[in-house]
Amino acid sequence: MQFLPMVAIFAIFYFLLVLPMQKQKKQTQQMLANLKKGDVVVTNGGIVGTIVDLGGEDDTIVIKVRPDNVKLQLARNAVSSLKSSP
């Protein structure tokens, strides 16, 4: 009976913190795996650009940033969210 409160606290911690973090991590990995040319993405640094090239085996992407159409090569995991698709 003395361990029942500790078990309850652990269960609450698991369901309120660990499960949502695992779900969010899985969604992020799926989003990164499904990136394609033409997608508008936002990077971790706040840069908004359009994907123009997906790197092959080196796990990088090239994005075009407006207004001067500057191309930046980034690690795929630098993308924080997908803004829109064509």
Average pLDDT, integer, range 49-55: 92
CB 79 within 8 A of CB 35: yes
Using the predicted structure, report yes or no on whether residue 86 has a pLDDT greater than 70: no
Tell me what the mean pLDDT of segment 62-82 comes to: 94
CATH architecture of 36-86: Roll (2.30)
Q: What is the pLDDT of residue 60?
A: 92
Mean pLDDT, to the nearest integer, of 34-56? 92
Domain regions of the chain by residue span: 1-34, 36-86
Residue 74's φ and ψ, nearest 5 degrees, are -130, 155
Tell me which residue of 46, 34, 47 sits closest to 85, measured CA to CA: 34
Average the pLDDT over 2-7 and give the result: 90
DSSP string, 18-72: IHHHHHHHHHHHHHHHT--TT-EEEETT--EEEEEEE-STT-EEEEEETTTTEEE
